[in-house]
Amino acid sequence: MLIGIVGLYLGGELLVRNASRLAVVLGLSPLVIGLTVVAFGTSAPEVAATLAAALRGVPELAVGNVVGSNIANVGLILGLMALVYPLMTRSTFVRREIPFLFGATLLAIGLLIDGSVGRVEGALLLAGLLAFLALVFRTTPPDEAPLGAAPPDDVGADPPGGIVRPALLATVGIAVLVGGAQALVTGAVSLAQAWGVSERVIGLTMVAVGTSLPELASSLVAVVRRETDLMLGNIVGSNVFNLLFVLGIAAVVRPLSVDLASVRVDLVVMSAFTLVMGWMVLTGLRVSRREGAVLLLAYAVYVGFLFT
């Protein structure tokens, strides 16, 4: 599992940096890069781990990874970052991204309510992602970077070797991602069996936190730079991407079937964290240190509940 987590992190880093450089060489705008290449790069570990779990016939681990990542992003990462530095945001962020996250959460829960997500339902989730991208494209001014989707600092530099080097390194990143995902899923299933706990619990905790490392790293950078709007956008954008793209692509590749009784509590917890975050941001356009402590405490209680 540890090897897998390191592989996912390094592979995602290689992929997002070099794919971003490649996009610059090809003449794509920073907005397009941020909304496509970088957004996919930070969620690439979730995509790889969820696909690997689905293909191995462990749907509980696949769904648990998506739901657990969204819970960890709000409870663990947002709570921790708010403790480090109170988070402020713009009203445009509240009007645009937060309502869409609510809608994506309701859509995913509605599709999971019967205990399965088929290929047609997966395609519906992917269509929802296209609608989200279209919304951000239409409502983001040309001179405004998309929230949570800033390209890396060195993306504007001319990469040595033109197209060839970044293309090769991005390919290596994909290969490392695939290998890391396989190692993570194999280790997670073995660990669940050795500890006598379900794949769902491992997916909701260890795998979810492991695949959320890119979000944690980018959030730390944003908070250190006092770019709190960027950090909040990263959390919300990642959660939307997880629900619509990660869950959607996994269902299209291999339909997911889970026991509703086993995930009902987790879906309620994910919805509760989403609503609480939305309430915190809507009421004051900020997440204070006290609110961050509440989120962290709630996440700790939830993880303790899972293992006991």
Domains of the chain: 2-144+162-307 (1.20.1420.30)
What three-state secondary structure class fits 287? strand
pLDDT at 108: 93
pLDDT at 272: 96
CA atoms of 281 and 251, how far apart (whole Å): 32
> Is residue 155 within 8 Å of residue 41, measured between CB atoms?
no
Question: Which amino acid belongs to residue 106?
Answer: L
Q: How far is CA 28 from CA 19, 24, 167, 198, in A?
A: 11, 5, 15, 44
Q: Which two tokens stand for residue 144?
A: 């405004």
pLDDT at 143: 52
Choose among 8, 64, 7: nearest CA to 215: 8
CA atoms of 45 and 246, how far apart (whole Å): 10
Quick: pLDDT tens for 197-209: 888 888 888 888 8
- Bridge partners of 257, per DSSP, are 116
pLDDT at 109: 93
Q: What percent of the chain has pLDDT over 90?
A: 27
Query: Rounded to 5 degrees, what angle do the CA atoms 220, 98, 35 make?
Result: 65
> Is residue 259 within 8 Å of residue 59, measured between CB atoms?
no
What three-state secondary structure class fits 13? helix
Q: Which two tokens stand for residue 27?
A: 């003449």
For the chain, 308 residues long, give each residue's pLDDT as a single digit of tens.
889 888 878 887 787 777 767 777 777 655 555 556 666 777 778 888 889 888 888 888 889 999 999 999 999 999 999 998 888 877 666 677 788 899 999 999 999 988 889 999 999 999 999 988 887 767 655 555 555 555 555 554 554 557 888 888 888 888 887 788 778 888 888 888 888 888 888 888 888 888 887 777 767 766 777 777 767 877 888 899 999 999 999 999 999 988 888 888 999 999 999 999 989 888 877 888 999 999 999 999 999 998 88
Q: Which two tokens stand for residue 148?
A: 């949570």
pLDDT at 238: 84
